[in-house]
Amino acid sequence: MPCYTVQEAKVKFSATTDRNLLTEALNATGLKATLAGDVITFTNGRYDCRTHEFTFQGLNQKQADERVKEIKRAYSGQVVLGQAKRFGWQVKQTGQYAYEIMKR
């Protein structure tokens, strides 16, 4: 591939995705996300909240799919943490995106 070629990969995400939780999940993975209107921008990519589509620059499709898997795991972790906070449960992180929940 020539050095002047820009590689871009697009991946769809769920329409029910909470944009604030997604922003927190992206930050949890170290991608430095910022929500502005209907677009979340992050390191080497963006997420359009209207089309529910991720766009990654510099990644091929396989790499983008792997990145989305990591984002989904982080998003699930943010959902768990949010629900634990909502119900007043104690949370102990036992691994990356792994938690032990204790009802108080």
Strands 53-57 and 45-48: antiparallel
pLDDT tens for residues 26-72? Answer: 999 999 999 999 999 999 999 999 999 888 888 888 888 899 889 98
**Residue 1 pLDDT > 50, yes or no?**
no
**20 Rama sector, left if φ>0, alpha if ψ -120 to 50, beta otherwise:** alpha
* pLDDT at residue 48, as a whole number: 93
Please compute the mean of the pLDDT values over residues 79-88 and round it to a whole number.
Answer: 90
pLDDT tens for residues 2-37? Answer: 554 555 566 677 778 899 999 999 999 999 999 999
DSSP-assigned states of every residue in 54-92: EEEES--HHHHHHHHHHHHHHHHHHHHHHHHHHHT-EEE
* pLDDT at residue 3, as a whole number: 52
